Amino acid sequence: MANLRLFLANMLVVHLLLYPLSSQVVALDEGLSPTEEIQLELIGRYDSGAGFNQGGAEIVTFDRYTKQAFIVNGAHHAIDIVDLSTIGDSNLQLERKGRIQVSELDLGAGFQIGDITSVAIHPGGDFIAFSVPAERERIMGESSLLIPMGK
């Protein structure tokens, strides 16, 4: 029950906490004091394939067990799965490992998704959760749970 509460709390705040993140990954030097300058080094980047300002990489959650990022791709109404286990290798370009095409999932009779507004992973990696509003504002949206690939 405690894991379920933690998972639900994570899902509620994932949008607020992670929305400002870009799709570029950087390393921070943790040995700095608050008055020192922070030096950033690009160690990886993901290109969603969407054009600028098209919502290609909007919301991110990380599965620490599989070292994968689940990234809302608003341009394709999908959740992109990106392998982060190679961060730090000589290749800076991170590749998409898979895609959950949310627009093709059966979310109920006649339900048309508007956009994906959040994504979260259960602390144990057992479930992926996402929520979508209905295309028409007067229809209730959906929250769904999926079992990650390989489980």
User: Quick check: 141 pLDDT over 60?
Assistant: no
Q: Which pLDDT score is estimated for 150? A: 42
Over the stretch 55-86, which tens digit does the pLDDT of each residue have? 778 888 898 888 899 998 888 888 899 999 88
Q: What are the backbone dihedrals phi and psi of residue 82, each rounded to the nearest 5 degrees, phi first?
A: -120, 130
Q: Which pLDDT score is estimated for 147? A: 61
User: Quick check: 107 pLDDT over 80?
Assistant: no
Over the stretch 3-49, which tens digit does the pLDDT of each residue have? 545 554 445 444 334 444 444 555 556 666 677 777 888 888 888 88
Q: Which pLDDT score is estimated for 80? A: 92
The CA-based diameter of the chain, rounded to the nearest angstrom, is 57
Q: Which pLDDT score is estimated for 30? A: 66
- CA neighbor of 107 nearest in space, from 130, 126, 125, 127: 130
User: Quick check: 144 pLDDT over 70?
Assistant: no
